[in-house]
Amino acid sequence: MKRLLLAAAAVMAVSATAGAQDLTGAGSSFAAPIYNSWAQVYAAKAGVKVNYQSVGSGAGINQISEQTVDFGATDGPMTDAQMAKAKGGAILHIPTVIGAVSMSYNLPGVPATTHLKFTGPVLADIYLGKITKWNDPQIAALNPGVNLPNHGIIVVHRSDASGTSYIVTDYFSNVSEAWKNGPGKGTAIAWPVGLGAKGNEGVAGQVRQIEGALGYVELAYVLTNHMTYSLLQNKDGNWIAPSLEGATEAAAGTAAHLPANTDFRISIVNAPGAKAYPISSFTWILLYKHQANAEKGKKLVNFLRWAMQDGDPQARALEYATLPKNMKQMVLKRLAEVTY
Amino acid sequence: MGGVAVGDRIYRGVTTLAGLAIVALLLYIAVEVFTGGWPVFRKFGLGFLTSSAWDPVHDVYGAAPAIFGTLVSSAIALVIATPLAVGTAVFLSELAPRWLGQPIAFLVDLLAAIPSVVYGLWGIFVLEPMMRDSIAPFLQNTLHLGGLPIFDGVSYGPGMLAAGIILAIMILPYISAVTREVLMAVPRSQREAAFALGATRWEMIRDAVIPGAKSGIVGGIVLGLGRALGETMAVTMVIGNAPTISASLFASGYTMASIIANEFAEAAGLHISALLAIGATLLAVTLVVNVLARWLVARVGVRYT
Domains and CATH numbers, chain B: 65-303 (1.10.3720.10)
Residue B218 — pLDDT band, cuts 50, 70, 90? confident
CB A205 within 8 A of CB A183: no
Give the count of beta carbons closer than 10 Å to the beta carbon of residue A180: 16
Residue A21 — very low, low, confident or very high, per pLDDT cuts 50/70/90? low
The answer to whether residue B53 neighbours chain A at the CB level (below 8 Å) is: yes
DSSP string, chain B: -HHHHHHHHHHHHHHHHHHHHHHHHHHHHHHHHHHHHHHHHHHHTTHHHH---EETTTTEE--HHHHHHHHHHHHHHHHHHHHHHHHHHHIIIIIS-HHHHHHHHHHHHHHTTS-HHHHHHHIIIIIHHHIIIIIHHIIIIIS--TTSGGG-S---S-SHHHHHHHHHHHHHHHHHHHHHHHHHHS-HHHHHHHHHTT--HHHHIIIIIHHHHHHHHHHHHHHHHHHHHH--HHHHHHS-------S-TTS----HHHHHHHHGGG--THHHHHHHHHHHHHHHHHHHHHHHHHHHHHHH--S--
Q: Return all residues near B54 (Cβ < 8 A) that are at least 6 apart.
A: A190, B60, B61, B62, B63, B65, B66, B243, B254, B259
User: Measured between alpha carbons, how far is B289 from B73 in angstroms, rounded to an integer?
Assistant: 14
Mean pLDDT of B69-95: 94
B153, burial (CB in 10 Å: exposed 0-12, middle 13-18, buried 19+): middle
Sequence-ordered list of residues with C-beta below 8 angstroms from that of A136, at least 6 positions apart, any chain: none
List of chain B residues whose C-beta atoms are within 8 Å of the C-beta of residue A213: 156
Percent of chain A at pLDDT exceeding 70: 94
**Greatest pairwise CA separation for chain B in angstroms:** 80
Distance, in Å, from the CA atom of A172 to the CA atom of A126, rounded to the nearest integer, reads 11
pLDDT score for A190: 92
Q: How far apart are CA A77 and CA B56, in angstroms?
A: 16
What is the separation, in whole angstroms, between the first and last Cα of chain B? 37
- Decide: residue B143, CB within 10 A, 0-12 exposed, 13-18 middle, 19+ buried: exposed
B271–A188: do the CB atoms touch at under 8 Å?
A: yes
Please report the sign of the dihedral spanned by the C-alpha atoms of residue A55, residue A56, residue A60, residue A61.
negative
Centre a 10 Å sphere on the Cβ of residue A204 and count the other Cβ atoms it contains.
20
Tell me, yes or no, if the two domains A15-98+257-269+281-335 and A101-253 fold the same way.
Answer: yes
Residue pairs spanning A and B at CB distance below 8 A? 101
Do residues B241 and B163 lie in contact, with contact meaning Cβ atoms separated by under 8 Å? no
8 Å CB contact of A195 and B124: no
Whole-number average pLDDT of chain B:
89
Q: Do A209 and B124 touch (CB under 8 A)?
A: yes
| Contact between chains at B266 and A55 (C-beta distance less than 8 A) | no
User: What are the two backbone dihedrals, phi and then psi, of residue A101, each rounded to the nearest 5 degrees?
Assistant: -125, 135
Question: From CA A9, how far away is CA A2, in angstroms rounded?
Answer: 11
pLDDT at A260 over 90: no
Question: Which residue, among A233, A275, A231, has the nearest Cα to A253 in the 3D structure?
Answer: A275
Q: Which residues of chain A have a CB within 8 Å of the CB of B55? A: 183, 189-190
Q: Is B262 on the interface with A (CB under 8 A)?
A: yes
Hey, is the C-beta of B266 within 8 angstroms of any chain A C-beta? yes
State how far the Cα of A281 lies from the Cα of B117, in Å rounded to an integer: 31
Q: Is the model's pLDDT at B10 over the cut of 60?
A: yes
pLDDT for the residue numbered B103: 92
Average pLDDT over every residue of B186-192 = 89
What is the per-residue pLDDT for B42?
A: 92
Nearest CB to B158; choose among A57, A62, A195 = A195
Q: Which strand (E) or helix (H) includes residue A300?
A: helix A294-310
Question: What's residue B87's pLDDT?
Answer: 93
Which residues of chain B does A205 touch, with a Cβ-Cβ cutoff of 8 Å? 124-125
Is the Cβ–Cβ distance between B31 and B276 less than 8 Å? Answer: no
Angle at CA of residue B127, ends B124 and B130, nearest 5°: 120
Chain A: residues touching B (Cβ < 8 Å)? 29, 55-59, 61-62, 82, 152, 154, 159-163, 169, 183-191, 194-198, 202, 205-206, 209-210, 213
> What confidence category does residue A340 fall into, taking pLDDT thresholds of 50, 70 and 90?
confident
Going along A48-174, which residue ranges are E strands?
49-54, 71-74, 91-105, 117-118, 154-158
A189 closest CB neighbour out of B57, B125, B264: B57
Please return the burial class of B130, using the count of CB atoms within 10 Å of its CB with bins 0-12, 13-18 and 19+.
middle
Nearest to B254 by CA among B288, B225, B278, B227: B278
Tell me the shortest Cα–Cα distance from A97 to chain B, in angstroms. Answer: 19
B56, B57, B266: residue with CB nearest A56: B266
Mean predicted lDDT score pLDDT of chain A: 89
DSSP state of A57: H
B14: pLDDT strictly greater than 80: yes
List the domain boundaries for chain A.
15-98+257-269+281-335, 101-253
CA distances from A93 to A99, A291, B57, B269 (A): 16, 14, 22, 20
Q: How far lies A17's CA from each of A10, A12, A54, A323, in Å?
A: 11, 9, 22, 29
pLDDT of residue A199: 86
Distances (CA, A) of A55 to A61, A74, A203, B233, B274: 10, 10, 21, 18, 19
Question: For residue B217, what are the β-bridge partners?
Answer: none
pLDDT at B91: 93
Residue B83 confidence (pLDDT): 94
Q: Do B236 and A198 touch (CB under 8 A)?
A: yes
Asked if B242 is an interface residue toward chain A (Cβ–Cβ < 8 A), one would say: yes
Does residue B7 register a pLDDT over 90? Answer: no
Report how far residue B220's alpha carbon sits from residue B175's, in angstroms, rounded to the nearest whole number: 5
- By Cβ distance, the residue of A62, A186, A198 closest to B56 is A186
- CB-CB neighbours of A313 under 10 Å: 12
Nearest CA-CA partner of A156 in B124, B26, B79, B185: B124
pLDDT of residue A16 exceeding 80, the answer is no
Instruction: Flag whether pLDDT at B221 surpasses 50.
Output: yes
Helix/strand/coil for A145: coil
CA distance A199 to A30: 11
Q: Verify whether the Cβ–Cβ distance A188 to B262 is below 8 Å.
A: yes
Q: How much is the pLDDT for A5? A: 47
pLDDT per residue as tens digits for the range A312-322: 999 999 989 99
Question: Which region, left, alpha or beta, applies to residue A163 given φ > 0 means left and ψ of -120 to 50 means alpha?
Answer: alpha
- With beta carbons under 8 A apart, name residues in chain A contacting B132: 210
Residue A226 carries which DSSP code?
Answer: T
Q: Which CATH superfamily is domain A15-98+257-269+281-335 in?
A: Periplasmic binding protein-like II (3.40.190.10)
**Residue A14 pLDDT exceeds 70:** no
Superfamily (CATH) of domain A101-253 = Periplasmic binding protein-like II (3.40.190.10)
**pLDDT of B302 above 60:** no
Q: Which tens digits make up the pLDDT trace of A141-174?
A: 999 989 999 999 999 999 988 889 999 999 999 9
Chain A interface includes B69 (CB < 8 A): no
Give yes or no for residue A15 having a pLDDT over 50: no
Mean pLDDT across A298-306: 94
Strand partners, A52: A25
Decide: residue B45, CB within 10 A, 0-12 exposed, 13-18 middle, 19+ buried: exposed
Per-residue exposure over A109-147, b if at least 16 CB sit within 10 Å of its own CB, e if not: ebeeeebbbbbbbbbbbbbbeebebbebeebeebbeebe
Which run of H or E residues covers position A321?
A: strand A321-322
CA–CA distance, A157 with A177 (Å, rounded to integer): 20
pLDDT tens column, B115-129: 999 999 999 989 999
